[in-house]
Chain A
Amino acid sequence: MNMITPDRLAELTVQALERTAFMMADPVPVEPSALAAAGCCSTIRYSGPGSGIVTLRTTDDFLQALVANLLGVEAGEAQIESYAQDALSELTNILGGSVISELGGRECVYSLGLPQPSKPAPADASTQICCLESEGQLLFVAWRPEAVSSSLAA
């Protein structure tokens, strides 16, 4: 199975933010306390030769900036709050697509589910996490490949 390192995950996230929302972001170390404070969460599952989950976690302030950039309005405008979850879901969808494309390449046979709002899930040893900072706000992206079942692995 192809692996995606935290550095590559960060590159894919930077590309998604730049292209979709014209947001500049830089990778920063993952601080557990900051991760715990990021209460807005969305996940997307994929399946195919392997399966897994991509999870995004961030803060209300990051989402405000994301929505403002997507809509081309000033942060703090009234309409922003109503689009926050939608913006997070769409970014999750885009990163899910980037992950399966990275895993499958030109011969990709992975399928992507729909993004879902979720509660933060505990990471395990296989989880790859990166953190991006944009204008002082943090976005965490985690990729967790799921174990191949014993019947398939045999």
Chain B
Amino acid sequence: MSCNVLIVDDSPILRKAIKKVVRLAGIEDDRIHEAGNGRDALAILETVWIDLVLLDLNMPVMDGEQFAQELRKRPELQGVAVVIVSTEANKDRLQRLRDLGIVDSLRKPFEPEDLCKMISRVLRVKQ
């Protein structure tokens, strides 16, 4: 699938685990990008077109909610789909994120098949 995916999570090992699932969804290795926090993710978005961001929320430096707020301020990045992949359960915070245009969310611990299906569904809609 010729789409670019950005995994944003402060855990390097979880990024690797998620990357395996993204590969299973048909995304080639050189189209999968990684960032350890929201600030680094924004830096990648300034240089590479990203179709889908898989976003953790609780991260140091810039958390996922701050990242989503920054993303929505940038007109050139309005086409980027964002899916939350996090332990977040706070309904108020999840509503704020939906208001920011988050496409969907998946709570950890997730079934790899569920993430794979979600990636395929979101990217299919975009294409």
Contact = CB atoms under 8 A, between A and B. Distances in A.
A43 interface: no
A144 B110 CA distance: 25
A86 B12 contact: yes
A26 B58 CA distance: 29
B13 A111 contact: no
> Which of the four size classes fits the interface of chain B?
20 to 34
Nearest to A104: B89
> Which of the four size classes fits the interface of chain A?
20 to 34
Given A67-B13, A83-B13, A90-B13, A112 B87 contact: yes
Contact of A90 (B14, B60, B107): B14
Interface string B83-96: 00011111111000
A42 B20 CA distance: 26
B12 A110 contact: no
7 contacts: A71-B16, A71-B17, A90-B14, A93-B87, A94-B109, A96-B87, A110-B89
Interface of A: 15-16, 18-21, 48, 67, 70-72, 83, 86-87, 89-90, 93-94, 96-98, 100-101, 104, 106-114
Given A20-B109, A93-B87, 5 more contacts: A19-B112, A70-B13, A94-B87, A100-B90, A101-B89
